Structure 1
Amino acid sequence: MAATLLVASFVVFGALYLAPGNPASFLLAGRSASPEALAAINAQYHLDDPFLVRYLRWLGDVLHGDFGRSITYRTDVSRLLADRLPTTLVLIAMSLVVVVAVGLLLGRIAAVRGGATDSAILVTTTFAVGTPSFVAAVLLQGVFAVDLGWFPSSGTGEGGFGDLVRHLVLPSVALALYLIGMLARVTRSAMLEALDSEHVTVARSRGVPERQVVRRHVFRNSLGTVLTTGGLIVSTLLVCTILVETAFSVGGIGQLLELSTTTKDFPTVQAISLIIVALFMTVNLLVDLALPLVDPRVTLGSRRAAA
């Protein structure tokens, strides 16, 4: 992880410098400036230093928790992140709960019941998978916010945590819709494969109740595949939150990243991008560590391969 984060930090820092424009032009807001004023701006933000020198200085500051100063907001990036990151984490947590609860339920029902129920769920999940997050956001806003007036159409509210959750209901559903369809399909496929396995046939022949067969022998043996998909789901949530937060005007790091990219706010974009990469890697590490606990065959297979 340390080596990967180091490479990622270099890519994150260097990628923005490949784009046209520079922070100085934004700071000047189209006004002409004397060479002395331009030199002062470049000196303040170290824009004239060699690329490798800027990168090493930035990396050293990041290791000490200093992400620099925002060019757009004229404040420390760490303060911006502290104000906005909790909102994004709440949004992702709500979306994850919806994805896991609905996706697992639909996948399990489709695999166990089959027939018309399975076909209906497949059609529904196909629609969900084919609906991008920003399209879902527009539809949900139009129906549940504008027409029915059940939920707010934008913002995060000012009435505490309960009001924040109410404002994030529609964004969380828009963020979760695509992933519900994906998880339901993965769960269905994994359970259908487990239903055809030998040990399930033996359990049924011994007279074990079907409910217990599904719970102990089918669903449990499918959790390894589902957990692996869970890492991809969380990673997708981290990325798609940018579109959803922008559509619903949610003041999280996703919207901040979009605004900072538009204004060439290098320090803010670099900090958020690095945080997303770190969260992505952390989630995948946790999935790798949890997988042997869910499916002991992973550990046994590794030992046999080593032997």
Structure 2
Amino acid sequence: MPVLAFLARRVGAAILLLGVLSVLTFCLLAAAPGSPEQVLLGSKPSTPETRAAIRAEFMLDRPLVVRYGHWLSGAIQGEFGNSVYSREPVSSVIGERLPVTAGLAGYAIVLTLVVAIPAGLVAGMRGGSGLDQGITSVSLVATSVPSYALGILLLYGFAVALGWFPMYGSGDLAHLTLPAVALATGQTAYVVRQTRAAALDLANQDYLTFARARGLGRRRIWVSYALRNASLPVLTIGGLLLAANLTGAVFVEQVFSLPGLGSLLIQSVGQKDIPVVQALVLLGGAVVVGVNLLVDLAYLAVDARVRHGVIEA
């Protein structure tokens, strides 16, 4: 079972990576200045007994190793403790925000792939032409514009001036359209460049020359042959962009006042809400590792050369 052994190695490496990430996160947060009791008490007067009770509630009076072991045993069971700020379970706090970020990430990656793959293939098919140069130039400009700056322009143009979209908040698809466009624009440029490079590399391959000699149409050649063989780099960057959308759409969420995980992370760091920050960092690591594992599985399904390499190994 070479494929199962391959998956077992990948899963084992993922678990090890998440373990290292959890240790680093726990230690860095423990070493950061400030403490939860200061956040809870604020400027209110307090007694040593009150501060001691808060520290005991969150196990801050215990050694670091003991605290980490207690947190890890709960994390394995899906229990991440309670938020220092709201006193609600961390899983509930994150669960309320997760649909917004997941919807934004999914919407943005769909827009990216729907626009970028055809544009990259067309640019590769007509390499050196005016159309190719135009697509490449637009991609270069899109790469240079920060997503938060584009978000502000979109917000002013289409929400304030024209009134076509809501200005802020979450709700239906209309609330996510402008944030998704802002997030997808730069990503589309990257995917276009990757798809174009892969298509240009495949343009003079022998099997494409043979397909042309058989009299097959250009559309069938590029869709049935070139697209499949050029999909590996697209899968790679697509997986990385999806993970980035789920874990790093902080600025876009701030611009459009979306109550997602990015805004929750900023808020939790400012409030020294250690349980929430730990859970968010671990969730981000799990998303990145999980997406990479899915990309590896997609490699096996798309490219027979990868499957044969795994079987021979």
Corresponding residue of 2:202? 194
Corresponding residue of 1:275? 283
Residues 1:144 and 2:158 are matched in the alignment: yes
Give, in angstroms, the shift of residue 292 of structure 1.
1.7
Contact 1:231–1:283 (CA<8 Å) still a contact in 2?
yes
TM-score normalised to the size of structure 2? 0.91
Cα distance in 1 for partners of 2:244, 2:145 equals: 14
Q: What secondary structure sits across from 1:49 in the alignment?
A: coil
**Which of the numbers 245, 253, 256 marks the counterpart of 1:245?**
253
Cα distance in 2 for partners of 1:20, 1:142 equals: 39
Residues 1:176 and 2:150 are matched in the alignment: no
Query: Which deviations, in whole Å up to 9, do the C-alpha atoms of 1:222-277 show, x marking residues without a partner?
Result: 01221122221112212331221122111111211111111111111111111111
Q: Which amino acid aligns with 2:205?
A: S
Query: Which deviations, in whole Å up to 9, do the C-alpha atoms of 1:163-220 show, x marking residues without a partner?
Result: x211111111111111110001100100111112121122222322222211222112
TM-score normalised to the size of structure 1? 0.93
Cα distance in 2 for partners of 1:187, 1:57 equals: 47
Stretch moving more, 118-127 or 237-246: 237-246
Query: Which deviations, in whole Å up to 9, do the C-alpha atoms of 1:71-108 show, x marking residues without a partner?
Result: 11221111112211112111111111101101112111
- What's the C-alpha RMSD, in Å, of the aligned pairs? 1.4
Corresponding residue of 1:2? 15
Cα distance in 2 for partners of 1:207, 1:42 equals: 76
Q: Which amino acid aligns with 1:120?
A: G
For structure 2, the 5+ residue unaligned runs are 1-13
Corresponding residue of 1:98? 111
Cα distance in 2 for partners of 1:16, 1:301 equals: 42
Q: What secondary structure sits across from 2:80 in the alignment?
A: coil
**Which of the numbers 215, 226, 229 marks the counterpart of 1:221?**
229
Q: Which amino acid aligns with 2:161?
A: D
Give, in angstroms, the shift of residue 119 of structure 1.
0.8
Cα distance in 2 for partners of 1:247, 1:263 equals: 20
Contact 1:68–1:77 (CA<8 Å) still a contact in 2?
yes
Cα distance in 1 for partners of 2:188, 2:224 equals: 23
Corresponding residue of 1:203? 211
Alignment coverage as a number of residue pairs: 299
- Percent of aligned positions with the same letter in both sequences? 40
Contact 1:133–1:240 (CA<8 Å) still a contact in 2?
no
Give, in angstroms, the shift of residue 303 of structure 1.
4.2
Contact 2:250–2:262 (CA<8 Å) still a contact in 1?
yes
Corresponding residue of 2:168? 154
Contact 1:69–1:76 (CA<8 Å) still a contact in 2?
yes
